[in-house]
Amino acid sequence: MPSMDPAGSKGSNGGPKADFFARKQRIEQQRKSLPIASVEKRLMDEVRGHDILIIVGETGSGKTTQLPQYLFNAGFCRDGKIIGITQPRRVAAVTVAKRVAEECGVEMGQRVGYSIRFDDMTSSSTRIKYMTDGLLLREALLDKYLSKYSVIIVDEAHERTVDTDVLLGILKSVQKARSGPINQLPNIDHTKANNGVVIDKENDSQRASSLNRCRGLKLSPLKLIIMSASLDARGFSEYFGGARAVHVQGRQFPVDIFYTKAPETDYLDATLITIFQIHLEEGAGDVLVFLTGQEEIESVERLVLEKLQQLPEEKRKLKVLPIYSSLPSEKQMQVFMPAPTGFRKVILATNIAETSVTIPGIKYVIDPGLVKARTYSARTGMESLVVVPTSKAQALQRSGRAGREGPGKCFRLYPEREFEKLSDSTVPEIKRCNLSKVVLQLKALGVDDIIGFDFMEKPSREAVIKSLELLTLLGALTEESRLSKPVGHQMARLPLDPTHAKALILASQFNCLEEMLIAVAMLSVESIFYAPREKLEEARTAAKCFSSLEGDHLTLINVYRASDELFEKSKIGNNREKAEKTMRKWCKENFINSRSVRQARDIHRQATSSFLGLKPKYDWQIRENVEQMGLHVASCGDDMLQFRRCLAAAFFLNAALKQPDGTYRVLSSGQSVQIHPSSVLFRTKPDCLIFDELVRTNHNYIRNVSRVDYLWLPELAPQYYTLKE
C-alpha cells in the first residue's frame, strides 16, 4: 500500500500520490509566502467594517487568488451566498479560477468556478465565482439586485475598461438599493427569470403587486471591493464618496532597464533578436515578451521555432508559449508550468500579462512599447483597433514583471527619449470607444438618462448622442429614445455587438438565419486564415477552394461548413479525440487556424456547456436565444442573394463605394479606406461593399467585406439613404 502520509512521500519517485502531496505542500508554502498572507486578518476586519473597500496592491501580491478564499473562510458565503470576482479579461478569469480550485483542492465548477461568455463552469455549489465584468453586467439584466452575491470584487479596476466603468456605476446603485428597505423597485424593468431567461416585462399591475409583496422587506447588504494595481486609489475613493482605501505592500526587486539607441524600424525583428540574445548570452530565467495580438504572437512563435532549428542541438532548449484571450483554456495554463529541466521558457503575451495574470519564473521582459487599443471618432462614428504606444504606467507595470522573484532585466525596444514622451496613464476606454453597446445595455437596465448616468468619468456628450442616433437607425430605440419592442429588447438580449445582433434579427426575415448564425460566430473569433510569410502563395491557393466571389462572409461560411462536415464525418464511432485530430490536420493543410474554427463551432453549436452535465444557465447561447425569441431559423440554401441583401440591411452604416483610384469611401463618414489584403475581394474590388470592421495600421483597412448592390441601400435602409444620394 502506498503511504498516505504526505511527510513520508516526498520526491518525484514516489508515484502520482506523492507528486500530488508534494505539489499541495508547495502550493501551501507559496500561499503563505505571498505578501497579502500576512495581512489576512486585518483585511477581513476592514471588509467587515466597510461596505466599500478599495484595495491597492502590486501585481503578484496575491489579491486575486487569495482574497476570495479569505472571504470564504471568514464566513461571507453563509446562507449559500456567492463571492463574485470580475476580471476585464477572459483568460484571467479562467486561469485564476483554475489556480484557486487547485489551491482549495476542489474540482473546477464545484466550490470554485468561472463564467465567461460562451463558457460556464459553475454549479449550484459554486461559492467563489470568477467572471468577466461584462458577464456580471448581463446578470444584472436578469437580477437587478444581484441578490445571490454577498461580496462583489471588481478586480483590475485600474484597467478602466468600458465594462468595468459601467459596472462600477451599476454596482453603486445596486448597493444602495440593497442597503435600505424595499420601498421602491429600482427603475430597472422588472423581468421574470425562467431558467435564467428573460421572458417578458411585468405590466404595471404585476409590478405594483410585487412591490406590495416586497415592501418593507430588507435584502442582505452587498459588500463591494474594488481592487487595483495602480498605486493611486484617489479616483476610486472619491467616486465612492471617500471610501476607505488600503494598501497591500508588495515585494519588488530591482530591474535594470535597457533602451535601444535608435528607434526600431521592424520591432518584430528586434524582438526576435533580443529573444535570442537573452537565450544565448544571459543567465537562467524565463522571458516575457509583450506583443499586440494573436496574429503577431503566432508569427513570432513560428519565427522563433524556425530560428531555433538553425542552432546547434544543445542550444535549442527554449520553450515558446503563447498566451492571449482567445487561446483555448487548456493551452493557457501551460504558461504557468515550469519549463522542462534545462529549458528556458519564453512567453509571448498580449498585455494580459501586464497585471491580470502573474507568471512565475520571469527574469527578463522584452517590451516593444506597443499595445492594441480601441479608438473612436465621434465625428465619423467609426471605431477602430489601432496599435499605439503604451503609457508610462503600462511600461512600468511591464518592467515590474521581471523583478518579482529576484533582480531582473527589461529591454525596451525604443530609445529612452521616447519613454519621456509617453503619456502618464491610459485614457479610460469609455472615452475612446463606440458606446452603442453600452447605451443599449444601460437602456435595458432601465437607465433612461445616459448622459446623466453616474459614470466615474463621463464619456463625451457627442459620443453618447452618436450612439443614440446609431441605435435609433438600427431600430433599437424609439423616437423618444426608449428601447423599442420587440427589436430593441431582442438586441439587448443578444450578447453581441448591436450591428451583429440586428443582422440576426433581420436574417430571420430574410430566411437566412442559419447562415447568419454561422457568419456571426465566425466574426466573433480572431482570424480564421493564417498565411506564413514564406508560404504565402501556397496559403492563397489553399484558401481559393473556399473563397466566394461574393465576399468574406460567404467565404467564412464555406470554411465553417467544410470543417463541420469533416468533423461530423470523422466523429463516427463517437471518437471525439480522433475527430479533433483529423480536423487539426485538415486545418493545417488549408492554412486555417484550427483554434479559431473550433471556437466558432463552440459558439455556434453551444458545445461548451459545461462538462458538469448542467444545462447552460446564461443567455449567451446565441442560437438558443434566437430560437426562444421566436425568430425563424431557416436556411436560404443556394440563394445567396438573400444573404447579401440581409448584410446590406444590417451593415448599411458600414457601406463603402469604390473610388477611381481603387480605394473606398465610407458613405456614412466620408472616410477613405482600403480593403485588407487578407480579404477575398482584395483584388476583385467590387463597386459597392459593406464591411465588418475598420482596423487602422499604416492604412485604414476594412476587414470582412462583402459585395452589395448600392441600389439596395435606399431600398433596405430608407431610414438612412435616399435614392438621390
Amino acid at 398: R
Select from ligand CDP, Mg ion, none the partner in contact with residue 360, using the beta carbon and a kind-dependent cut-off of 5 to 8 Å.
ligand CDP
Q: Is 400 in the site for ligand CDP (CB under 6 A)?
A: no
**Residue placing its CB nearer to ligand CDP in the complex, 324 or 620:** 324
| Binding to ligand CDP in span 696-715, by CB under 6 A | none
Q: Is 59 in the site for ligand CDP (CB under 6 A)?
A: yes
**Residue placing its CB nearer to ligand CDP in the complex, 62 or 285:** 62
* b (16+ CB within 10 A) / e for 155-175: bbbbbbbbbbbbbbbbbbbbb
Report, in Å, the least distance between residue 289 CB and ligand CDP. Answer: 18
Select from ligand CDP, Mg ion, none the partner in contact with residue 60, using the beta carbon and a kind-dependent cut-off of 5 to 8 Å.
ligand CDP
| Binding to ligand CDP in span 84-103, by CB under 6 A | 95-96, 99
All three cell numbers of 426, joined, read: 491610459
Out of 9, 18, 21, 34, name the contact with ligand CDP by CB under 6 A: 34
Q: Is 100 exposed, middle or buried (0-12, 13-18, 19+ CB in 10 A)?
A: buried
CA–CA separation, 369 vs 384, rounded Å?
A: 20
**Residue placing its CB nearer to Mg ion in the complex, 154 or 444:** 154
Q: Is 350 in the site for ligand CDP (CB under 6 A)?
A: no
Report, in Å, the least distance between residue 238 CB and ligand CDP. Answer: 23
Q: Is 233 in the site for ligand CDP (CB under 6 A)?
A: no
Cβ neighbors of 29 (< 8 A, separation 6 or more) are: none
Contact 67, 44 (CB under 8 A): no
CA–CA separation, 688 vs 666, rounded Å?
A: 10
CA–CA separation, 364 vs 369, rounded Å?
A: 15
Select from ligand CDP, Mg ion, none the partner in contact with residue 191, using the beta carbon and a kind-dependent cut-off of 5 to 8 Å.
none
3-state SS, 386-449, equals: EEEECCHHHHHHHHHHHHCCCCEEEEECCCHHHHHHCCCCCCCHHHCCCCHHHHHHHHHCCCCC
Select from ligand CDP, Mg ion, none the partner in contact with residue 681, using the beta carbon and a kind-dependent cut-off of 5 to 8 Å.
none
Q: Is 65 in the site for ligand CDP (CB under 6 A)?
A: yes
Out of 63, 601, 617, 644, name the contact with ligand CDP by CB under 6 A: 63
Cβ neighbors of 141 (< 8 A, separation 6 or more) are: 191, 198, 441, 444, 445, 492, 493, 619
Based on C-alpha coordinates, what's the Rg of the chain? Answer: 26
**Residue placing its CB nearer to ligand CDP in the complex, 199 or 337:** 337
Cβ neighbors of 170 (< 8 A, separation 6 or more) are: 137, 140, 445
Out of 9, 39, 43, 64, name the contact with ligand CDP by CB under 6 A: 64
φ/ψ (deg, to 5) at 198: -70, 125
Select from ligand CDP, Mg ion, none the partner in contact with residue 150, using the beta carbon and a kind-dependent cut-off of 5 to 8 Å.
none
Q: Is 62 in the site for ligand CDP (CB under 6 A)?
A: yes
End-to-end CA distance of the chain: 85
**Residue placing its CB nearer to ligand CDP in the complex, 33 or 179:** 33
In this chain, which stretch among 47-55, 64-72, 193-201, 461-469 interacts with ligand CDP, using CB under 6 A?
64-72
**Residue placing its CB nearer to ligand CDP in the complex, 65 or 642:** 65
| Binding to Mg ion in span 35-74, by CB under 5 A | 63-64
Within 10 angstroms of residue 664's Cβ, the number of other Cβ atoms is 25
Size of the site for Mg ion (CB under 5 A): 2
**Residue placing its CB nearer to ligand CDP in the complex, 34 or 131:** 34
- The H or E element containing residue 46 is helix 40-49
Binding mask 115-154 for Mg ion (x = CB under 5 A): ----------------------------------------
Distances (CA, A) of 99 to 6, 62, 96, 334: 21, 12, 5, 12
**Residue placing its CB nearer to ligand CDP in the complex, 63 or 363:** 63
**Residue placing its CB nearer to ligand CDP in the complex, 408 or 686:** 408
All three cell numbers of 585, joined, read: 490536420
List residues binding Mg ion (CB under 5 A): 63-64
List residues binding ligand CDP (CB under 6 A): 34, 57, 59-66, 95-96, 99, 336, 358, 360
